[in-house]
């Protein structure tokens, strides 16, 4: 009967899994590449696939040149993935091409908007044309410095290209960027090494240094003052990862529990769901409540993201919600938020139902406040050598070589366009005014929740022409200054105190200031002068970097995520001058904290 079915299938031109399972490895390939002779996908996870099915070339050839003719080294690269991967993993290659990791659309749109090159932060351009987005414009055609900045400084980390050849950034392009993890030394695996168990280290080859990522695993970029010692030959010099020096910090609570990125973020968030969204925060539908529930609310019986993506590694068993680790297979009970009288005081405040969990539970809020951007066209390498380790491989290589070979580097600097490979005059250098972890600034984000804000970014531009003459000096473009609500992935069980938000002018986005004591006859107290003003250094701004709103509730910086905004006038008044109700809850919180720190005698 099976023989008859096979004959009928062949007659109809069908290909059955039985036929694929008997497909031999190409003998010409494995005779030279024995380490790649293992089944691909791994045994028990699919059918044995001949090398040429994905890599093309001639698997029967006896000589190397003939065998490699027409061969594709990385069939998972996005220009090959539909042919090689998409026939089995249907639909996913097209979704990946429309994902933020392939398009960089949010990064492009926000930067161009802040530099005044487009009228809204909504995406218009992408790495490769993806309907309705069009490919990045050529700065030599439109004359816009921001497009040159993006091409030669920012757009090196996307799935159309492999990672930089530097510690912590090495990876392949396309699907293999995630599914073929390199080891801790940056070496590719022996054999194919394809896996769905993508470790955190592989995610950090991209998500590191410019957003949530490295902090989850316990490190954050060091301040520029520390970076100035990166060439010190003493044993105490910091280790460079991705051409950047790092400060060790306490890892996120979930990382300490053994969870990886893929344990929380489903594949539709990582690989895309085919929809183009305006920002990374909009793309992520996972919420703390998806697993832990909310105030007086349990997670649903079928946990899912706000975009409807099921969380398949979560299941209710005997009244407990159990998470099965995608990396280690371990079962972990998920702690649910206590309700009723068992809940801590902060969780019993009804108004806190409009506060995102991380607003209190993030142990720190890393940010680069105020970003100096310089297009340097002079061969003045020694001046900038102390900040060479700023996370860009071109800058690091150029300034290092010039520093140790000064006689050979007396010509103007050149760096390449990451999209075309074409060399251009000048090097783009970045240096933040303040790199801080303790500055907690709040605003409203999606769903009307209070979020921590991250500077993304606050640009001050200095540009030079080809002769080295200044054309723009310390100028804030329009709108120039941007913030975005975010989750810094620094979760801890302990929270900040009530006064870290209520009554704190800085936390409410009013700048580095504080509310003075009310004077007799005054209805409300006034704010003290800010502790530091960019205007004193000749920078035209309404206030300091952390001033995102004035006392009338008017936004002073651009909020780059849909539905995000600063607190309005009435919200500022209530939060800056909390009343008796706040004081009662504060006393309850202090009593609970005292009881925890000073337990009574046990019996």
Pairwise pLDDT comparison (130 vs 340), residue with the higher score: 130
**8 part of a folded domain:** yes
pLDDT at 548: 97
Report the SS3 class of residue 482: strand
* 336 and 373 both lie in a single domain: no
pLDDT (tens digit per residue) in 215-271 = 999 999 886 555 444 444 344 455 788 988 888 899 999 999 999 999 999 999 999
pLDDT reading at 12 higher than 80: no
- Collect contacts of 16-22 with beta carbons under 8 A, ≥24 apart: 17/47, 20/47, 20/48, 20/49, 21/47, 21/48, 22/48
Which two three-digit tokens encode residue 97?
């091409």
Region 540-567: mean pLDDT is: 94
* 309 and 371 both lie in a single domain: no
pLDDT at 210: 66
The closest alpha carbon to 247, from 280, 277, 217, 288, belongs to 217
How many Å from the N-terminal Cα to the C-terminal Cα in the chain?
77
pLDDT at 230: 43
pLDDT reading at 602 higher than 80: no
* 425 and 568 both lie in a single domain: yes
pLDDT at 7: 42
The three-point CA angle 441-442-444 to 5° equals 155
**272 part of a folded domain:** yes
> Are β-strands 442-444 and 450-464 bridged in parallel, bridged antiparallel, or unpaired?
antiparallel
**90 part of a folded domain:** no
pLDDT at 28: 82
**218 part of a folded domain:** no
* 434 and 467 both lie in a single domain: yes
Cα 162 to its chain centre, rounded Å, is 17
Q: Are 153 and 189 in contact (CB under 8 A)?
A: no
* 318 and 342 both lie in a single domain: yes
Rounded CA separation 417/407 (Å): 26
DSSP one-letter code for 549:
B
* 344 and 470 both lie in a single domain: no
Q: For the chain, give the mean pLDDT.
A: 88
Rounded CA separation 348/350 (Å): 6
Number of domains the chain is built from: 3
Region 552-558: mean pLDDT is: 96
Please state the pTM of the whole predicted model.
Answer: 0.91
Query: Which of residues 320, 354, 388 is at a domain's end?
Result: 354
Q: Are 367 and 430 in contact (CB under 8 A)?
A: no
Report the SS3 class of residue 431: strand
Report the SS3 class of residue 575: helix
Which two three-digit tokens encode residue 571?
């919200």
Q: Which residue has the tokens 């970076």?
A: 227
**480 part of a folded domain:** yes
Residue 404 has a CB neighbour count (10 Å cut-off) of 11
The closest alpha carbon to 77, from 164, 155, 175, 171, belongs to 175
pLDDT (tens digit per residue) in 59-75 = 889 888 999 999 999 99
pLDDT at 490: 96
* 557 and 453 both lie in a single domain: yes
DSSP one-letter code for 75:
T
**456 part of a folded domain:** yes
pLDDT at 410: 80
pLDDT (tens digit per residue) in 476-485 = 999 999 999 9
* 319 and 460 both lie in a single domain: no
Pairwise pLDDT comparison (95 vs 525), residue with the higher score: 95
* 308 and 418 both lie in a single domain: no
pLDDT (tens digit per residue) in 491-520 = 999 889 999 999 999 999 999 999 888 777
Q: Which residues pair with 93 in a beta bridge?
A: none
Q: DSSP 3-state helix, strand, coil percentages of the chain (rounded to 5)? A: 30, 15, 55
pLDDT reading at 19 higher than 60: no
* 301 and 349 both lie in a single domain: yes
78 Cβ contact list (under 8 Å, min separation 6):
93, 96, 97, 102, 128, 159, 160, 173, 174
Pairwise pLDDT comparison (231 vs 464), residue with the higher score: 464
pLDDT at 531: 86
* 371 and 428 both lie in a single domain: yes
Q: Which residue has the tokens 């919200």?
A: 571
Query: Which of residues 42, 71, 100 is at a domain's end?
Result: 71
Which two three-digit tokens encode residue 464?
């030079």
Region 164-171: mean pLDDT is: 92
Pairwise pLDDT comparison (540 vs 308), residue with the higher score: 308
**245 part of a folded domain:** no
Cα 334 to its chain centre, rounded Å, is 25
pLDDT reading at 23 higher than 60: no
* 422 and 569 both lie in a single domain: yes
Tell me which range, 178-187, 251-260, 391-400, 592-601, is most confidently predicted by mean pLDDT. 251-260
pLDDT at 39: 59
Query: Which of residues 71, 104, 127 is at a domain's end?
Result: 71
The range of the structural domain enclosing residue 323 comes to: 261-354
Residue 601 has a CB neighbour count (10 Å cut-off) of 4
**280 part of a folded domain:** yes
DSSP one-letter code for 23:
P
């Amino acid at each position: 009967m099976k023989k008859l079915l096979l004959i009928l299938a062949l007659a109809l031109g069908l290909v059955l899994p039985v036929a694929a399972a008997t497909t031999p490895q190409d003998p010409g390939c494995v005779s030279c590449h024995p380490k790649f002779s293992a089944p691909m996908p791994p045994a028990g996870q699919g059918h044995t696939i001949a090398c040429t099915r994905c890599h093309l070339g001639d698997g029967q050839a006896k000589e190397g040149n003939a065998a490699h003719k027409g061969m594709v080294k990385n069939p998972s690269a996005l220009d090959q993935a539909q042919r090689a991967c998409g026939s089995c993993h249907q639909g996913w290659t097209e979704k990946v091409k429309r994902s933020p990791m392939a398009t960089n659309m949010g990064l492009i749109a926000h930067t161009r908007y802040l530099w005044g090159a487009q009228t809204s932060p909504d995406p218009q351009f992408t790495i490769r044309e993806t309907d309705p987005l069009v490919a990045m414009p050529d700065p030599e055609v439109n004359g816009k410095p921001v497009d040159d900045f993006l091409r030669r400084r920012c757009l090196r980390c996307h799935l159309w290209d492999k990672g930089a050849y530097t510690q912590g950034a090495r990876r392949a392009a396309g699907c293999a960027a995630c599914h073929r993890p390199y080891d801790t030394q940056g070496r590719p695996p022996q054999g194919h090494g394809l896996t769905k168990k993508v470790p955190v280290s592989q995610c950090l080859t991209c998500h590191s240094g410019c957003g949530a990522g490295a902090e989850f695993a316990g490190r954050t970029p060091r301040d520029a003052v520390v970076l100035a010692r990166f060439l010190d030959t003493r044993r105490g010099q910091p280790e460079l990862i991705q051409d950047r020096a790092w400060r060790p910090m306490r890892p996120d609570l979930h990382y300490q529990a053994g969870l990886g990125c893929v344990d929380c973020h489903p594949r539709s968030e990582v690989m895309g769901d085919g929809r183009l969204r305006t920002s990374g925060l909009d793309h992520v539908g996972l919420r703390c409540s998806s697993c832990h529930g909310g105030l007086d609310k349990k997670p649903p019986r079928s946990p899912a993201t706000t975009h409807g993506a099921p969380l398949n590694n979560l299941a209710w068993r005997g009244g407990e919600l159990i998470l099965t680790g995608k990396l280690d297979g371990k079962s972990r009970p998920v702690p649910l938020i206590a309700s009723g009288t068992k809940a801590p005081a902060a969780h019993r405040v009804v108004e806190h139902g409009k506060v995102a969990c991380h607003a209190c539970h993030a142990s720190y809020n890393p940010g680069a406040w105020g970003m100096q951007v310089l297009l340097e066209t002079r061969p003045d390498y020694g001046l900038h050598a102390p900040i060479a380790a700023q996370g860009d491989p071109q800058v690091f290589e150029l300034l290092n070589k010039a520093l140790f070979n000064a006689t050979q580097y007396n010509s103007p600097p050149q760096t390449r366009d990451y999209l075309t490979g074409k060399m251009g005059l000048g090097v783009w250098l970045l240096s933040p005014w303040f790199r801080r972890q303790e500055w907690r600034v709040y605003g409203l984000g999606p769903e009307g929740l209070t979020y921590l804000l991250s500077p993304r970014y606050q640009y001050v531009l200095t540009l030079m022409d080809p002769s080295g003459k200044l054309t723009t000096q310390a100028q804030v473009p329009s709108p120039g200054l941007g913030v975005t609500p975010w989750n810094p992935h620094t979760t801890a069980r302990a929270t900040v105190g009530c006064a870290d938000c209520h009554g704190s002018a800085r936390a409410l986005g009013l700048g580095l200031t504080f509310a003075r004591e009310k004077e007799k006859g005054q209805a409300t107290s006034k704010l003290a002068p800010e502790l530091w003003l960019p205007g004193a250094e000749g920078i035209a701004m309404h206030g300091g970097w952390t001033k995102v709103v004035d006392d009338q509730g008017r936004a002073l910086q651009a909020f780059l995520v849909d539905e995000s905004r600063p607190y309005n006038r009435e919200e500022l008044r209530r939060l800056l001058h909390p009343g008796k109700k706040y004081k009662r809850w504060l006393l309850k919180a202090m009593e609970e904290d005292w009881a925890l720190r000073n337990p009574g005698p046990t019996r």
